[in-house]
A = this chain, B = another copy of it.
């Protein structure tokens, strides 16, 4: 099983509305609710590819229950640790011509709650072939939480992928993850000077096994233990970039558990990212685009 960790899970809510009247009363014509958070999106992609997955993380309150219920409806196994605070909601107000996002801060997680999570996580690692650590941390846990979780996994022989930003990304390499996956902007924040190649090399120097940098339409850069590779996209896929990074991470996780060579891993991961752009919601990908683009991706 591949274990995905979402410490700051979310209920993703979309309001469809006519043009919004600011300072007025607006009728919501349709409401969509869906479990979210980057690790949840990764799990959806892996499950769609036939992989056994388990979603863990922290969930609280009735919003946490709504997240769990949506995962059950999607057939995704979960083992969240309960926290006293309320799981955050992320709201998209989708009016004609604009998608306005509102992000709740997420529940404050106590030291005891994080310790509870570590015990559960340790137990779940027993069955895991790889672990994916994705997304922001809720308020509370230390910035090096992903380094700690990665080190726990390593001790049990389980490789970890970290997809994070800011301080959690800067701290992550110390836990010696198999792969760190920033996009170009995240990498530039973590290593402020130099090219993407130099930034990736710096994260490897600090402990990351490999670093895969997503460059949007320009493809991927992978700086690995066996050399540097680039995935070049045959054409730009138009659509919704939200969740493309999560599909890419799902592809990298598959590469870890199938132990195929880096060029093949990278081609599959890049194809999944492109196929996710073609799908309307995060956590989904377009199988037709995946099949079509996969053989055309050039690895150099």
A24: which B residues are within 8 A, CB to CB?
100-101
A66 to B22, CA, bound (A): 27
Taking chain A's interface residues, is the majority helix, strand, or loop, or is none over half, making it mixed?
mixed
Q: In the assembly, how many copies of this chain are there?
A: 2
CB neighbors of B among A65-118 (8 A): 65-66, 69, 86, 91, 93, 97-105
Q: List the B side residues contacting A102 at CB < 8 Å.
A: 15, 17, 26, 28, 93
> Is A206 an interface residue, CB under 8 A from the partner?
no
Q: Which residues of B sit under 8 angstroms from A23, Cβ to Cβ? A: 97-100
Within 202-251 of A, Cβ neighbours of B (below 8 Å) are at none
Contact A103 B29 (CB under 8 A): no
Is A21 an interface residue when CB atoms closer than 8 A count as contact? yes
A156 interface residue per 8 A CB criterion = no
Chain B residues whose C-beta falls within 8 Å of the C-beta of A99 in the assembled complex: 23
Alpha-carbon distance A22/B62, docked complex (angstroms)? 29
Whether A105 pairs with B29 at a CB distance below 8 angstroms is yes
Chain B nearest Cβ from A100, distance in angstroms: 5
For chain A, the bracket of interface size reads 20 to 34
CA distance A113 to B26 in the complex (A): 28
What per-residue 1/0 map shows which CB atoms of A25-64 lie under 8 Å from chain B? 1111101000000000000000000000000000000110
Q: Which residues of B contact A63 (CB under 8 A)?
A: 62
| Interchain CB contact under 8 A, B98 and A22 | yes
Given contacts A27-B103, A27-B105, A93-B102, 11 further A-B contacts (CB under 8 A): A15-B104, A20-B22, A23-B97, A23-B99, A26-B101, A28-B103, A28-B104, A29-B105, A31-B86, A62-B65, A62-B66
Using a CB–CB cutoff of 8 Å, the interface residues on chain A facing chain B are: 15, 17, 20-29, 31, 62-63, 65-66, 69, 86, 91, 93, 97-105
A-B residue pairs in contact (CB < 8 Å), sample of 23: A15-B102, A15-B104, A17-B102, A20-B100, A21-B100, A22-B98, A23-B97, A23-B98, A23-B99, A23-B100, A24-B101, A25-B103, A26-B100, A26-B102, A28-B102, A28-B103, A28-B105, A31-B86, A31-B104, A31-B105, A62-B66, A62-B69, A91-B91
